[in-house]
Amino acid sequence: MGANPRPILFVSYAESGLLNPLLVLAEELSRRGVADLWFAADEKARGEVEAAGVDSAVRFASLGETVSQMSAVTWDDETYAEVTQRSRFKAHRAVIKHSFAPRSRIGKYRALEKIVEEVRPALMVIESMCQFGHELAITKSIPFVLGVPFVPSNVLTSHVPFAASYTPSGFPVPHSGLPGVMTFRQRIENELFRVRTLGMFMTSSVRKVVEEDNRIRTELGIAPKARQMMARIDHAEMVLCYSVPELDYPFPMHEKMRLVGTMVPPLPQAPEDDGLSDWLSEQKSVVYMGFGTVTRLTREQVGSLVDVARRLAAAGHQVLWKLPRSQQELLPPAEELPDGLRIESWVPSQLDVLAHPNVKVFFTHAGGNGYHEGLYFGKPLVVRPLWVDCDDQAVRGQDFGVSLTLDRPETVDADDVLDKITRVLDEPSFTERAEHFAGLLHDAGGRAAAADLLLGLPALATH
């Protein structure tokens, strides 16, 4: 592997919501001709990583095949139902239950350890959810930058009481979906969220997993300082967050946090799109429906959304729906689909779609990337929150006047969906507010600002 004394090693899970922002940053560095760029991820990301090389190569370092506990798209239907249920605490607990599997990360840690020994990176850029990545960087004393695709408080707020936290007391706990200004009942709920999370780790079943985790950390040689609650923040050279302060509730920002806005590559990202951009240009008003790679709709929910498209068409609005091929079998017969509905199993670039002026509303699950991408292009949102951070983005979007959230997201009631979409389309304030935040996200600098910050770090100094 590389012999340059200043290699940069990116590390990420292969899930698109986590991987994509780091790919944009790696591509920007490549476009600037930065040498010795490496990217460690699961084997399935090989093609995307290698495609990020523009003027200098981005070399792929394989972490092996995907481990189920680390990939929500591989979870069975029972697990999916548990982690996406509407009780936010129960869903939060289910995510911990299914992803807290210490033995599953042994192979990833060892694979990354071998890559690090061969590449000898001067700097690592690690996706915030990639625990084995920051554990290894801290243990090996390798300077690293943490990449965060969520609002900043997501990684600065503790989930349990009495632990280090970099937001004020009473701040909404991540995954709680609670607002910044709470009623007395909500404040109690917020505190109970922390207490119940701590209580979960005191049950006999979870304590056994914690004990196993401690044994495995010792077996891997992970430094004790890497095990602390806020280790990934405390030991990072810098925390790159793809948001802006105004899209979170106010709090004193951590000194290491650098908010650079949405990570967007040069557009068009996919000029060859099989006529999709031409179709968008032929319409006057398009509602784009895209719910990420994890969402699994039922036949009833698909039927409700077809009904919504039919009723929107009657009002002069077209619908572009990104619906995975595996779920298209739930659609009614083709002859029963409304003329105003275009269904794609995959769009070559969601960013190109959102950038199109005829797209007026983004109907989304409000994952970290989708939420910020929609607003970057000034598109107001209608939100069907899916899980974990989606509820947090949904409540902020509604409070900041850029979105409305479904009253009954679990059923996808057609009347509820149509009401929210129609209100966002008809009330100018939603677009005005979205365009306001678009200006802030653009001004933050995006990929260019992130690359400048990275290249300015002492770890990459050449003398």
Secondary structure, 3-state, 215-266: HHHHHHCCCHHHHCCCHHHHCCCEEEECCCHHHCCCCCCCCCEEECCCCCCC
Evaluate whether 17 touches 373 at the Cβ level (below 8 Å).
no
Q: Is pLDDT above 50 for 443?
A: yes
Rounded to a whole number of angstroms, the CA Rg of the chain reads: 22
pLDDT given at position 5 = 62
Q: Is pLDDT above 60 for 417?
A: yes
Helices (H), 288-427: 299-314, 325-328, 350-355, 368-376, 389-399, 414-426
Cα(319)–Cα(324) distance, integer angstroms: 16
Cα(398)–Cα(389) distance, integer angstroms: 14
**Least trusted range by pLDDT, from 64-68, 147-151, 183-187, 231-235:** 64-68
List the one residue out of 296, 309, 320, 383 whose CA is nearest residue 74.
Answer: 296
- Cα distances (Å, whole numbers) of residue 437 to 18, 262, 357, 382, 425: 22, 11, 17, 16, 17
pLDDT given at position 187 = 98
Q: How many CB atoms lie within 10 A of CB 47?
A: 9
Encoding tokens for residue 305?
């959304």
Q: Is pLDDT above 90 for 176?
A: yes
Cα(366)–Cα(386) distance, integer angstroms: 8
pLDDT given at position 1 = 39
pLDDT given at position 146 = 98
List the one residue out of 135, 136, 134 whose CA is nearest residue 116.
Answer: 136
pLDDT given at position 123 = 98
Query: Which pTM does this prediction carry?
Result: 0.95
Average pLDDT estimate for 166-175: 97
Cα 70 versus chain centre, distance: 14
Indicate the residue type of 385.
Answer: P
List the one residue out of 101, 137, 341 whose CA is nearest residue 212.
Answer: 101
Domains annotated for the chain, with CATH where assigned, are 8-261+444-460 (3.40.50.2000), 276-443 (3.40.50.2000)
Q: Is pLDDT above 50 for 184?
A: yes
Express each pLDDT in 295-333 by its tens digit.
Answer: 999 999 999 999 999 999 999 999 999 999 999 999 999
Encoding tokens for residue 412?
């996808």
Which residue has 């095990």 as its token pair? 227
Q: Rounded mean pLDDT of the chain?
A: 95
In sequence order, which residues have a C-beta less than 8 Å from that of residue 226 and are 6 or more positions away?
Answer: 134, 135, 138, 139, 235
Element (H, E) at 449: helix 446-455
* SS3 label, residue 36: coil
pLDDT given at position 190 = 98
Average pLDDT estimate for 246-269: 98
Cα(213)–Cα(201) distance, integer angstroms: 12
List the one residue out of 296, 308, 274, 284 whose CA is nearest residue 417.
Answer: 308
List the one residue out of 268, 454, 387, 380 whose CA is nearest residue 15.
Answer: 387
Q: How many CB atoms lie within 10 A of CB 155?
A: 21
How are beta strands 8-11 and 37-41 bridged, if at all?
parallel
In terms of Cβ atoms closer than 10 Å to its own Cβ (0-12, 13-18, 19+), residue 144 is: buried
Q: Is pLDDT above 50 for 352?
A: yes
**Least trusted range by pLDDT, from 4-13, 91-100, 384-393:** 4-13
pLDDT given at position 410 = 87
